[in-house]
Chain A
Amino acid sequence: MLELRRVSKHFSGIAAVDDVSFCARPGEVTGYLGPNGSGKSTTIKMITALLEMTSGQILFDGKLIEDDIVSYKRRMGYVPEEPYLYNHLSGAEYLTMVADLRGLSSRIASGRIDGMLRLLSLYDDRHAGISGYSKGMRQKVLIAAALMHNPDLVLLDEPFSGLDVGSALVLRSLITELAARGKVVLFSSHELDTVERISNRVVILHRGKVVADDSIAHLRSLMELPTLEAIFSQLAVEQDSNTLARQLADLIYA
């Protein structure tokens, strides 16, 4: 189980993440939602240990992650929000490098890389430079790199970004499948419909604070709202979207 206890992160005195606490359990998909700038990616970067917390604790399977960060990293797979990759490598070279850095044996690594590239429809372009990949192809490379070592904790930050409909459907099923096999899955997304379909529970963040942490069904009944979109709008959207759109159109015509 992944557990965050009163985690905060301040940048130059400004709280990007403020006293956030929640749990993501094995066998469950936890959706992590929030408007732009609410602190989702910052939280996930702290969970991956890319960013240091200002205060608080992060535990995985009951142990503080900083106590044995290497063992923790071995069990973690991460798809970042931005597809930053080494553009001078090809897809296959990048994955081989990640496998080598993760200490996978050559035999296992080559089998998994080949298989993943085939299943993600990247096999034909595996020797092409990543600089030439589309956004969706880069995203697939990131997904393959995050999963090839069979991690127990899967952290996905906007994993559907750039994926075509078919690939998004595959990824959606994959997330459910991974959770069903006992993995802890935490994923952040702006696609509320997808989150509603696959998440067992959601954590909604607004201005760095958790404003909801519950199962979707329970939130629906509690707030007497029909959809996750409506719940999200009520909790985390400050301005009426129709009014804002009208103001923008007026500005163009002014």
Chain B
Amino acid sequence: MRRYVWQLLQRAGQRLPRDFRVLHAQFLLRVIDLEALSIDADIPRFLGQFAGVLIMFSFLHAFAVYVAILEYPLRLEHYLISTMMLVAGLITVVSWDSIFPDRRDIMVLGPLPLRPATILAAKLCASASLLGVAILALNTAPGLVAPLLLGQLHASIFGFFQVLAAYWITMVAATLFLFCSVLTIQGVASLVLPYRFFLRLSAMLQLVCFGVFLTVYFFEPALGTLPELVAHQNQQVMAHSPQFWFLGLFNQINGSLPAQLSWLATRAWIALAAVIIGAGVSLLLSYMRVMKKIVEQPDLDPTRSSRRLIPRLGGSLQAAIATFCFRSITRSRQHRIALAFCWSIVFAIFVSMLRRVARNGPEKVSLDLIMPTIIMMSCAVLGLRGVFSLPVSLKANWMLRVTQLRPTTGYIAATRRTLQLFGVLPVLVASAGLAYHFRPLSHAYRHIGFLAIFGCILVEVGLFHFDKVPFTCSFVPGKTNIQVIFWGGAFVFMMLSLLFGMYELKALDRLSSYAILMGCSMAVVGGLWTFNRIRARTAVLYYDEVLPEIITRLGLTFLPPAPAAEAQKVEHV
């Protein structure tokens, strides 16, 4: 089936100009520029796997729709729209740089007889293709189930088609709104700012958008009934939330929007028109400008200062590893995005706690302090440890191998210090600030003391069998079955931390119990530390080799079809 669809698409695509097709295939492959997601440069396979994950969610959504849409129609509709916008937002963030050409594009494509408009169109179509796959895949099941169920309410056959049209128009419009919003932001920034600042700001904007999308999704109030939606106190939230605008749009198209909420749909239409025009104009204006600047402006930026941002803690090896990690995380877009996924959870929890602190007076120490801080610590440390496994320029590893003058224990210790410095310490400082709001203070800070030990335990667990320098080994997708480990681990962890949080809460009341808790925790840290150290004495640092280059086949019509054996050979040259 997949092969048939692909052949159909290929046949349709062959009617397009060849230069456009070649560029589109190239850019589609590079839309998501994450090594971790790359699967042998096979476009159909990549899109198939990407769609497969979303289709899985699609069936889960369909089940939720089947169970609850007639009872809570607005809440479910809002949920489906929010999820579509989150997925579209995440794809837009991950493919942040795919619209604008980079230096490589200019140097490779510049000398070729190609019109800039063709390049722009190919880039836009590549991003749109991915978003199109996402819309189709995520809404495969709910896109039919929801109209079938909601259509019954209209008591006519046209009701189904009306809801069906409303559903798909809303999903496409919501995706388009997010995509064009991001393009407008990028386009305006590139027009207003000098190119050098644009590049720096663009990286920060990407992270901000990532955090905003996740925070809004997880922390937006769920207003699921008509009285809640028309309540005066909720109007401000709805006025600033595009999810609610598109909820209004959906209900307007299917003919069930109450008059009091018609302003939401109006707002959706205006916003959609504004961002489409904004994206179109700013992109066209900025495209030519950026293309020229990439060629004209040197990449060299000799004005930056050499201030040491990280205090030099420990010996020279620890300083070298810590600084290398800090710079890799802050400067590598791929690593920033991967880390941002975990840290945006930390950030979102922190912001919600901060909001609570600002609204309420001092509160009694409860699970409301213990659980969020434990989750923050876990996400920060384990997220950082996970990012350490993503490589930065494997070919440059030779330098670390040539300069490996200290025993492996030194390198493991340096990695430990780095995890403590950038994973444990920030969460500890943030939690200590939040703990000031809870009473009695002694209990709150006892928890912070335990949190520090808990952070150290996580660090030691993260160092199990990690005989590597961070960022020097490749992560092979599929090898670790990350989905199962992640979701399974998250579930088990949540259950365990809830039980443990309840135990800790009891222990905080009695000094003797608290002393036992701390003693046991410190013994665990000591035991793990000793285990890791003994193992490190005999361990050999592992560096990954670069895998052979993979040649991408563009599927051009003039290429003769390669026999299977020969194709295999070509792809692994």
Contact = CB atoms under 8 A, between A and B. Distances in A.
Query: Which of B299, B300, B301, B312 gathers most chain A CB within 10 Å?
Result: B300
Interface in B281-330: 298-306, 312, 316-317, 319-320, 323-324, 327-328
Contacts of A98: 399, 403
A1 B14 CA distance: 65
A102 interface: yes
Interface stretch (B185-193, B210-218, B261-269, B389-397): B389-397
B401 interface: yes
A39 interface: no
A84 B317 CA distance: 21
B404 interface: yes
Contacts of B157: none
A217 interface: no
A89 B320 contact: no
A100 B319 contact: yes
Interface stretch (A72-80, A169-177, A181-189): A72-80
Interface in A97-145: 97-106, 124-129, 131-133, 145
B403 A127 contact: no
A96 B326 CA distance: 14
Interface residues of A, number: 40
**Range of interface residues on B (Cβ < 8 Å):** 20 to 34
B528 to A, nearest CB: 27
B400 A101 contact: yes
Given A86-B392, A88-B327, A50 B317 contact: no
B396 A85 contact: yes
A107 to B, nearest CB: 12
B406 interface: yes
Contact of A73 (B302, B305, B320, B404): B404
B316 A104 contact: yes
A245 interface: no
Given A100-B316, A129-B301, A70 B405 contact: yes
A88 B403 contact: no
Interface in B416-440: none
B302 A124 contact: yes
Contacts of B392: 86, 88
A3 interface: no
Contact of A89 (B327, B400, B402, B405): B327
A132 B404 contact: no
B442 interface: no
A128 B300 contact: yes
A84 B393 contact: yes
A78 B395 CA distance: 15
B300 A103 contact: no
Nearest to B469: A101
A54 interface: no
B331 interface: yes
Interface in B491-550: none
Query: Which of B300, B332, B402 gathers most chain A CB within 10 Å?
Result: B402
Contacts of B304: 90, 127-128
B398 interface: yes
Nearest to A69: B404
Contacts of A106: 312, 316
Interface in A50-80: 50, 70, 73-74, 76, 78, 80
Query: Which of A73, A82, A127 gathers most chain B CB within 10 Å?
Result: A127
Interface string B481-497: 00000000000000000
A87 interface: yes
A71 to B, nearest CB: 9
A134 to B, nearest CB: 9
Nearest to A137: B300
A37 to B, nearest CB: 16
A90 B319 CA distance: 16
Closest 10 CB pairs of A and B: A132-B299, A100-B320, A88-B331, A101-B403, A84-B395, A100-B316, A128-B300, A127-B304, A84-B396, A132-B300
14 contacts: A49-B401, A50-B402, A70-B405, A73-B402, A73-B403, A86-B324, A93-B323, A100-B319, A101-B404, A127-B303, A127-B305, A128-B304, A129-B299, A129-B331
Given A70-B405, A127-B302, 4 more contacts: A86-B328, A93-B327, A100-B319, A101-B320
Interface of A: 48-50, 70, 73-74, 76, 78, 80, 82, 84-90, 92-93, 96-106, 124-129, 131-133, 145
